[in-house]
Amino acid sequence: VSTACKYKDYTCHKCKVKGHLAPVCKTKPQHTNQFLDESTDFADDYCLSESFFCLKDSETDHNGIFSRNLSIDGLTHKFQIDTGAAQNVMSEEFYHKNFSSYCLVDNDI
Protein backbone atom coordinates (compact mmCIF):
# COMPACT_ATOMS: atom_id res chain seq x y z
CA VAL A 1 0.00 0.00 0.00
CA SER A 2 1.42 3.35 -1.02
CA THR A 3 2.12 5.70 1.87
CA ALA A 4 0.81 8.59 -0.27
CA CYS A 5 -2.59 7.00 -0.91
CA LYS A 6 -5.34 8.81 0.97
CA TYR A 7 -7.23 5.52 1.44
CA LYS A 8 -4.33 3.63 3.04
CA ASP A 9 -5.98 3.76 6.48
CA TYR A 10 -9.50 2.94 5.27
CA THR A 11 -10.98 -0.53 5.73
CA CYS A 12 -12.85 -2.15 2.84
CA HIS A 13 -16.48 -2.92 3.75
CA LYS A 14 -16.45 -5.86 1.31
CA CYS A 15 -13.38 -7.87 2.36
CA LYS A 16 -12.53 -6.07 5.65
CA VAL A 17 -8.90 -5.53 4.55
CA LYS A 18 -7.25 -2.20 5.28
CA GLY A 19 -5.88 -0.12 2.39
CA HIS A 20 -8.68 0.22 -0.17
CA LEU A 21 -12.40 0.87 -0.61
CA ALA A 22 -15.14 -1.60 -1.60
CA PRO A 23 -15.68 -0.15 -5.14
CA VAL A 24 -12.11 -1.14 -6.09
CA CYS A 25 -11.97 -4.38 -4.07
CA LYS A 26 -10.51 -7.27 -6.06
CA THR A 27 -12.05 -10.09 -4.00
CA LYS A 28 -14.30 -12.31 -6.09
CA PRO A 29 -18.01 -12.05 -5.32
CA GLN A 30 -19.66 -15.15 -3.92
CA HIS A 31 -22.75 -16.04 -5.92
CA THR A 32 -25.11 -17.63 -3.44
CA ASN A 33 -28.82 -17.44 -2.88
CA GLN A 34 -29.47 -14.76 -0.32
CA PHE A 35 -32.56 -14.45 1.80
CA LEU A 36 -33.66 -11.62 4.04
CA ASP A 37 -32.49 -12.03 7.60
CA GLU A 38 -34.63 -10.74 10.44
CA SER A 39 -31.70 -10.26 12.84
CA THR A 40 -29.16 -7.49 12.56
CA ASP A 41 -26.44 -6.40 14.94
CA PHE A 42 -25.09 -3.26 13.30
CA ALA A 43 -25.40 0.40 14.26
CA ASP A 44 -23.23 2.43 11.86
CA ASP A 45 -24.64 4.53 9.03
CA TYR A 46 -23.89 4.02 5.35
CA CYS A 47 -24.60 7.14 3.33
CA LEU A 48 -25.21 6.42 -0.32
CA SER A 49 -25.08 8.76 -3.29
CA GLU A 50 -23.57 11.65 -1.35
CA SER A 51 -26.47 12.15 1.08
CA PHE A 52 -29.20 11.33 -1.45
CA PHE A 53 -30.44 8.98 1.23
CA CYS A 54 -28.99 7.12 4.19
CA LEU A 55 -29.59 3.59 5.39
CA LYS A 56 -28.45 2.28 8.73
CA ASP A 57 -26.58 -0.97 9.17
CA SER A 58 -29.47 -1.99 11.38
CA GLU A 59 -31.45 -2.22 8.12
CA THR A 60 -29.02 -4.72 6.55
CA ASP A 61 -28.38 -8.39 7.08
CA HIS A 62 -24.95 -9.89 7.71
CA ASN A 63 -24.26 -9.93 3.93
CA GLY A 64 -24.87 -6.18 3.61
CA ILE A 65 -28.25 -6.55 1.92
CA PHE A 66 -30.46 -3.54 2.56
CA SER A 67 -34.09 -4.18 3.40
CA ARG A 68 -37.01 -2.05 4.51
CA ASN A 69 -40.39 -2.74 6.05
CA LEU A 70 -43.20 -1.30 3.92
CA SER A 71 -46.77 -0.94 5.11
CA ILE A 72 -49.30 -1.69 2.35
CA ASP A 73 -53.01 -1.72 3.14
CA GLY A 74 -52.24 -1.97 6.85
CA LEU A 75 -49.96 -5.00 6.50
CA THR A 76 -46.19 -4.74 6.93
CA HIS A 77 -43.93 -6.57 4.47
CA LYS A 78 -40.12 -6.71 4.42
CA PHE A 79 -38.65 -5.81 1.02
CA GLN A 80 -35.07 -5.99 -0.22
CA ILE A 81 -33.77 -2.67 -1.56
CA ASP A 82 -31.79 -2.78 -4.82
CA THR A 83 -30.61 0.79 -5.42
CA GLY A 84 -29.49 -0.07 -8.95
CA ALA A 85 -32.68 -1.75 -10.13
CA ALA A 86 -34.95 -0.12 -12.69
CA GLN A 87 -37.94 -2.24 -11.62
CA ASN A 88 -39.12 -3.79 -8.39
CA VAL A 89 -40.34 -7.37 -8.51
CA MET A 90 -41.98 -9.93 -6.26
CA SER A 91 -42.56 -13.63 -6.66
CA GLU A 92 -45.84 -14.94 -8.02
CA GLU A 93 -46.37 -16.83 -4.77
CA PHE A 94 -45.91 -13.62 -2.72
CA TYR A 95 -48.33 -11.77 -5.02
CA HIS A 96 -51.04 -14.45 -4.69
CA LYS A 97 -50.57 -14.65 -0.92
CA ASN A 98 -50.61 -10.90 -0.24
CA PHE A 99 -51.96 -8.93 -3.20
CA SER A 100 -54.32 -11.20 -5.14
CA SER A 101 -57.09 -8.59 -4.77
CA TYR A 102 -55.07 -6.27 -7.06
CA CYS A 103 -55.28 -6.80 -10.82
CA LEU A 104 -52.00 -7.23 -12.64
CA VAL A 105 -51.45 -5.04 -15.69
CA ASP A 106 -49.69 -6.39 -18.81
CA ASN A 107 -46.37 -4.75 -19.64
CA ASP A 108 -43.52 -5.18 -22.09
CA ILE A 109 -40.76 -5.94 -19.58
- CA dihedral (19, 61, 30, 26) in degrees, to 10, reads -10
Question: pTM of the entire structure?
Answer: 0.39
Most confident of 56-60, 81-85, 86-90, 91-95: 91-95
- What integer pLDDT is reported at residue 52 of this predicted model? 45
Q: How many domains does the chain contain in total?
A: 1
Q: Which domain holds residue 80?
A: 33-85
Q: For 68-85, what is the mean pLDDT?
A: 83
Helix (H) or strand (E) holding 93: helix 92-98
Q: Is residue 5 assigned to a domain?
A: no
Q: For 39-67, what is the mean pLDDT?
A: 53
- What integer pLDDT is reported at residue 49 of this predicted model? 42
Helix (H) or strand (E) holding 47: strand 45-48
Question: At residue 75, does pLDDT exceed 80?
Answer: yes
